[in-house]
Structure 1
Amino acid sequence: MKIFVTGTGIISALGTGTGATLQSLLSGESGIDVIRHLSTGHKEFPAGEVALPNEDIARMLGVGYPENGLRTVLLGITAAREAVSSASLADTDLADAAFVSGTTVGGMDKTEKYFKSAFDAESKTEDSLELKYNDCGYSSGMIADNTGPFGMVTTTSTACSSAANAIIFGANLIKSGVTDIVVAGGAEALTKFHLNGFNTLMILDKDTCRPFDRNRAGINLGEGAAYIVLESEESVKRRNVRPVAELSGYANTCDAFHQTATSENGEGAYLAMRKAMDMARLSPCDIDYVNAHGTGTPNNDASELAAMERIWGTQIPAFSSTKAFTGHTTSASGSIETVICLLALQHGFLPPNLGWRTPINEGGIPITGTDNQRDIKNIINNSFGFGGNDSSLIFSKCQLQ
């Protein structure tokens, strides 16, 4: 059964909407800069922040309390509404559709604001009631409520593969006959919990990150949201819409190697890519581009490169990490990078691996300049989460019967 993408929506450090995102990618402009909106003492770490404060996003969306104090929700509504609009979905279409959203931070920004006063209080207070918004499912529900009358709403939370797994879950809902239409993706705001947690792991880079570079030093965190509309072939024909691409293959694996690290031979990444190709009935030579997870950490990039070498040997297809554009948007990265892949597929370009200078080994040379002369048919998008929860998605040019 074929699954098609009929709409996209995105907001990140590259801008608001698919148009702004495309322009930034083609111009090679990174969205990573000094931290301006997050209230933190760690200004030494650059990040890929969305340029707008909560007040401006809330005003743009026309929402009030409690959405206006939840950045993950605000980012999610922005991207979800664009996806629904670009797919020309009406409320009648959404009534039977599913909304699947990936997040891990959820409403942590509100929790950070109210937790101490609630904890110090001797009894339940108004501040303590604000803590209910911490739940990941609350964020998904509020995004859905402000986007359309969905028939089903659910959440995936598998760290940095959350949004990719939301897309996989959405595709499985369609294949199992639960629904014909799914809006799937993820949203994640930058929080102090986020920044401090990764700083504790000692994997944040004080300079702009350099994925797949021999001298890479770690992650630049980011934030944002992206959603895509998935539809069955029957629904596409019934609604008479033109698909953006086909979700031709996908896989989720778990190597269970370590809580945060990946294995030296990239077993989980290898299996995810290999099984996704098997589902799509593609051979390694059919893949034109790999949007790598490529976080910029010593462990991830060496492991992911090893996995690619196991599949392609010395003939690795064009690959790059776009995290030097957006920062690592953690749970939202799978869908943000999906939209980037779909833009590449539609417009025939491959985004460069910004900041790269020196190869890890002889074969590990990513794309270093924007390539606008490509006939791209099949793209792999990798998203790897803590605990070895690894997912690969394959998007292909459409072939409607």
Structure 2
Amino acid sequence: MGRILVTGLGLISAIGDSVAANRQALAAGNSGIGAATYLESKYAALLPFGEIKKSTETLLEALPGSYPEVTRTDLIALHAMKEAIADAGLSAAQLRDRSTAFISASTVGGMCLTDKMYADANATEANNSPFLGSYSNSASTLFLQSFFTIGGIVNTFNTACSSSANAIMYGARLLQNGLAERAIVGGTDSLAKFTINGFNALMILSNEPCRPFDSARKGLNLGEAGGFIVLEKEEHITPSHTVYAELKGFGNNNDAYHPSSTSENADGPFLCMQGALQTAGLEPGAIDFINAHGTATENNDETESVAMLRLFDQVPAFASTKSYTGHTLGAAGAVEAIYSILNLYHQEVYPSLNFETPVEKTGLTPVLSYQQRPLRHVMSNSFGFGGNCSSLIFGRY
């Protein structure tokens, strides 16, 4: 069969409400991490976040009619998916067709409305909460399926921070096995008290903008985002298509070590990167740049560095874009896949921010300035809680 190509991109994050705006911020080194404006949490005034610069009410303006059960997670996803569909030039008929698959991902889902659902459940009235049906992590997928009348296979992934990387991988496998001609793949998550409190309990939230791969890193900043990619088989590409990149390879492995940490030997990260190279038919030396998972937590940055040192004779240039957006959880894999695609399409790399001193054990230094350089293949890493680790490899088309 033909190659799997990227023909559409859609994105909203703390650094912009479009793919172009995100690229402009990345190239300029402008982070979106700071004080939260719209988040309703006591931590909004205490910790920095990668908050999208749009209120929920503003995002609601994109909806025709009344949707009482819609969540901020849904609205972020809608914004990004509209851009991806328009960018790929997909018609309403194509979206309705059984050959169009939709694979999304989320970890927060409707948990951003936990307080409202709890209040409804304890109210004296007998009415059911309109938010009960939107509480699931799959609710945003079902909302978008209904909104766009998607006719093909629909599925949702919830594998923590690797969720949307796995959605991309699954969509590609549908195309490879003849179960779809095109797949809209990606993920979404919004900031929520539920996740903020959970990460705070783990004591891995930083009280300052995160410092990926720095010896003085203090933890991650939570963010929110939505990102979607349109994948199509090469045989269905016409001269009117814009082709951004080729999805060359992918790998998934489980570290099976700890609920929220990877092992000192970094077996999961190492094996998923190795597996991605094998499916792409590439040697490690073919990777020109890595968009690292790079959460700025003590465990992740050290073990990801160990994995890179195990796999590569000479570690390629790498950086973490979480220093711009914060950690967007289930959306992170898709957001960073889009950044990797932009690396290839524009032949440029974006720097890590806030880095000063390498980790003593590994001594690795990320890219620290915007650079234009020739790129053939870019790897994007996403490592999730429970040890679920995924790597994607994109090639220049």
Contact 1:61 1:78 in 2 (8 A): no
| Runs of 5+ consecutive residues of structure 1 not aligned to the other structure | none
The 5-angstrom pairing of residues 234-249 of structure 1 reads: 234-237=235-238, 241-249=241-249
Tell me which residue corresponds to 2:102.
99
Tell me which residue corresponds to 1:353.
352
Give the Cα–Cα distance (whole angstroms) in 2 for the partners of residues 116 and 58 of structure 1: 22
Greater Cα shift, 344-353 or 197-206: 344-353
Greater Cα shift, 218-227 or 104-113: 104-113
Tell me which residue corresponds to 2:114.
111
Tell me which residue corresponds to 1:133.
134
Contact 2:289 2:379 in 1 (8 A): yes
Give the Cα–Cα distance (whole angstroms) in 2 for the partners of residues 351 and 181 of structure 1: 29
SS of residue matched to 2:138: helix
Identity %: 42
AA partner of residue 21 (structure 2) = A
Can you list the C-alpha shifts for 1:31-56, whole angstroms capped at 9, x where unaligned?
A: 00111111001121100000000111
Tell me which residue corresponds to 1:272.
272
AA partner of residue 375 (structure 2) = I
Tell me which residue corresponds to 1:146.
147
Aligned length: 392
Tell me which residue corresponds to 1:342.
341
Greater Cα shift, 341-350 or 147-156: 147-156
Tell me which residue corresponds to 1:321.
320
Give the Cα–Cα distance (whole angstroms) in 1 for the partners of residues 65 and 118 of structure 2: 24
Tell me which residue corresponds to 2:287.
287
* RMSD value, Cα: 1.5
Tell me which residue corresponds to 2:253.
253
Can you list the C-alpha shifts for 1:346-373, whole angstroms capped at 9, x where unaligned?
A: 111111010000001364110011112x
Query: How far 1:330 moved relative to its partner?
Result: 0.5
Give the Cα–Cα distance (whole angstroms) in 2 for the partners of residues 228 and 296 of structure 1: 26
AA partner of residue 265 (structure 1) = N
Return the match for 1:50 from 36, 41, 52: 52
Give the Cα–Cα distance (whole angstroms) in 1 for the partners of residues 18 and 66 of structure 2: 22
Query: How far 1:108 moved relative to its partner?
Result: 1.1
The 5-angstrom pairing of residues 161-172 of structure 1 reads: 161-172=162-173
Give the Cα–Cα distance (whole angstroms) in 2 for the partners of residues 62 and 123 of structure 1: 29
Query: How far 1:242 moved relative to its partner?
Result: 3.4
SS of residue matched to 1:160: helix
| Runs of 5+ consecutive residues of structure 2 not aligned to the other structure | none
SS of residue matched to 1:110: helix
Q: Structure 1 residues 261, 63: CA separation in 2 closer, same or farther (over 3 Å shift)?
A: farther
Q: Structure 1 residues 137, 124: CA separation in 2 closer, same or farther (over 3 Å shift)?
A: farther
Contact 1:80 1:147 in 2 (8 A): no
Can you list the C-alpha shifts for 1:132-169, whole angstroms capped at 9, x where unaligned?
A: 21012221111232234332321111010000000011
Give the Cα–Cα distance (whole angstroms) in 2 for the partners of residues 17 and 305 of structure 1: 31
Contact 1:111 1:131 in 2 (8 A): no
The 5-angstrom pairing of residues 2-401 of structure 1 reads: 2-42=3-43, 43-62=45-64, 64-66=66-68, 69-94=70-95, 95-96=97-98, 97-118=100-121, 120-121=122-123, 124-127=126-129, 129-237=130-238, 241-313=241-313, 315-361=314-360, 363-372=363-372, 374-398=373-397
Give the Cα–Cα distance (whole angstroms) in 1 for the partners of residues 165 and 296 of structure 2: 19
SS of residue matched to 1:183: strand
Contact 2:102 2:150 in 1 (8 A): no
Give the Cα–Cα distance (whole angstroms) in 2 for the partners of residues 269 and 124 of structure 1: 49
Contact 1:81 1:147 in 2 (8 A): no
Contact 1:163 1:185 in 2 (8 A): yes
Structure 1 length as normaliser, TM-score? 0.95
